[in-house]
Amino acid sequence: MGKSKLDIAFQEAVDQVNAHKEPFPADTLLKLYAYYKKATNDYGRPRSKKPIINAFKTNALFQARNLTEKDAKKKYIELVNDYFLYRK
């Protein structure tokens, strides 16, 4: 079965984020992290060497806890589109 339009748009947004060379604002980065984890059903624990970063990531995941995989993909795409639209 082929990928859905949502899956294709999500992968394009992920590729756009991965290709971006400048740092993202911390709040945007945490949202991207949480939406990505929810969208991909990756529930592994944050693995930063710094406990404070793990705490922020855990909090971001907690805030996104009620999102479905589909909703997380939509929010990720929307956040990426808004970021690149308004940063110029």
Percent of residues in the chain assigned helix, strand, coil, to nearest 5? 70, 0, 30
Question: 57 φ, ψ to 5°?
Answer: -65, -40
User: So what CATH class is 5-15+24-86?
Assistant: mainly alpha
CA distance 32 to 77: 9
Provide the whole-model pTM: 0.91
What pLDDT, in 10s, does the model give residues 30-81?
A: 999 999 999 999 878 888 889 999 999 999 999 999 999 999 999 999 999 9
